[in-house]
Structure 1
Amino acid sequence: MLGLLAKLNQWEELTSHSALHNVDSDQILLMNGISWDIYETLLKSCQNISHYRFKYLEGTLEIMSPSRRHEVDKKIIALLLETYFLEKGIDFYPLGSTTFRREAVARGIEPDECYCFNSEKSIPDLAIEIVVTSGGIDDLLIYQGLGVPEVWFWQNNQFLLYYLRGNKYEQINKSELLPDLDLNLLASLVMSGEKPKVLISTFRQNISR
């Protein structure tokens, strides 16, 4: 465990280097052969370090330091979705980047954003991931083991949606949970670069028509 923390400290020093401040990509560290106990201990050790995200899949650990673009897109999507929920009278529970994990299936993840609908549950109904840098753990394999019904990826300026049918995800064109949501409109607003106040106002005008 001490060796793992030392490696993490070295990685943190590297990613905080001034030359990387303007790099618009997520920094990802992958390690294999990590036991569940070490994963849980690491989560506890880093619970006050908000700029790391942890994923675990059957002995492989991913630690990510999100980029500025990652965090901006995540917040804009959350603001717009929550505006939609409020405008449409949808009963929702925002769980943010809560850690969800199940030792029995050796899986754990911290979504970028996630929501329960109608009531608060142990596992979210909808999880959203912002993909800026590829090459990490397959998030869908983690979510499949956790039993999350619907997962969205924001990648290359578009939404990719998956719905869990049985024990496998099926790619879908529109949300099963939010069938009336115009994803093309949502994507265009996220890409627009407008101020959040303008985005919310524009979105409200469109969804109230």
Structure 2
Amino acid sequence: MTTTSTTEQPQVRAEPIVTLRGVSWQTYQALMHDVGDNRAWRIAYDQGILEIRMPLPKHEEPKRLLESFIEVVVDELGIELRSLGALTLEREDLTRAVEPDTCFYIQNESRVRGQDKINLPDDPPPDLVVESDYKNSSINKFKLYAELGVPELWRYRQNRLEVYQLIEGQYEKTQQSPTFSFLPIAEIPGLIEQSKTMGQRAVVRLFRQRIREILANQSSD
């Protein structure tokens, strides 16, 4: 694999992140092809800047709980979901790519059901992506996800869950999930903290009970 002459040496920071600059789209694609999907690290690529990061366990646990919570919600609603984890989202025409911590097709699940590969922009982007406590990024991921057209973004950091909605090409912070307006967003960080003493599945069961209460109250109104 050849690299461009302008590529800088990796800059390793306190966080497990490596940033390469001057990386052509062709070089990025060759790297991804060579390493394949069986890898622990995740990437973000924005017009020549390639960021490689190694998720830490303390970041992975909240992400996995958020996945479980979303699965609970769709199960209780009786709707479908396609969960695709750190799916590589690429737009060659924009020379941008990113792998979220996890992502979901909900409203557009039927449009990508059973597909072996998601091809943007022919296929829709995920309806919801989750980023867990990233730091020291050289790439503006809000701008990147906005360019890819992801309608809803959750960011969990410093024991807070922030929800953003894409409006006219920019993310605006909101108190409610656009997809699940009844979801008690403010309660979720506390449940994630409780999992450290109660256990993950115990907290998921608590969350399921809470969702059932909310839905039951809604149906009785």
Q: Under TM normalisation by the shorter chain, which class is it?
A: 0.7 to 0.9
Distance 1:2 1:76 in 2: 40
Distance 1:153-1:191 versus aligned 2 partners, 3 A rule = same
- Give RMSD over aligned pairs: 2.3
SS state at 2:181 partner: coil
**Secondary structure class of the residue paired with 1:153:** strand
- Secondary structure, counterpart of 1:160 in structure 2: strand
Counterpart of 2:83? 94
Q: TM-score, normalised by structure 2?
A: 0.80
Paired letter, 1:62: E
Q: 1:145 to 1:132 in 2, by over 3 A?
A: closer
For residue 160 of structure 1, what is the aligned residue in structure 2?
162
> TM-score if structure 1 supplies the norm length?
0.84
Alpha-carbon distance in 2 for matches of 1:92, 1:26: 33
Residue segments in structure 2 that go unaligned for 5+ positions in a row: 113-122, 214-221
Cα separation, 2, equivalents of 1:155 and 1:90? 28
Paired residue secondary structure (1:69): helix
What corresponds to 2:191 in structure 1? 189
Contact 1:26 1:132 in 2 (8 A): no
Assess if the C-alpha contact under 8 Å between 2:3 and 2:27 holds in 1: no
Listed as ranges, the matches of 1:10-49 within 5 Å are 26-49=15-38
Task: State which of 57, 64, 72 in structure 2 corresponds to 1:68.
Answer: 57
Could you tell me which amino acid in structure 2 is paired with residue 203 of structure 1?
F
Give the C-alpha shift of residue 166 in structure 1: 1.7
Contact 2:143-2:170 at 8 Å conserved across structures:
no
Measured after TM superposition, the shift of residue 66 of structure 1 is 0.8
Inter-partner Cα distance in structure 2 for 1:142 and 1:132: 14
Partner amino acid for 1:195? G
Q: Aligned partners of 1:108 and 1:83: how far apart in 2?
A: 29
2:104 counterpart (80, 105, 115): 115
**Deviation for aligned residue 1:26:** 4.6
Question: Are the equivalent residues in 1 in contact too, given 2:165–2:174 (CA < 8 A)?
Answer: yes
Offset of residue 36 of structure 1: 0.6
Aligned partner of 1:143 in structure 2 is: 145
Distance 1:75 1:136 in 2: 25
The amino acid across from 1:31 in the alignment is L
1:202 aligns with 2:191: no
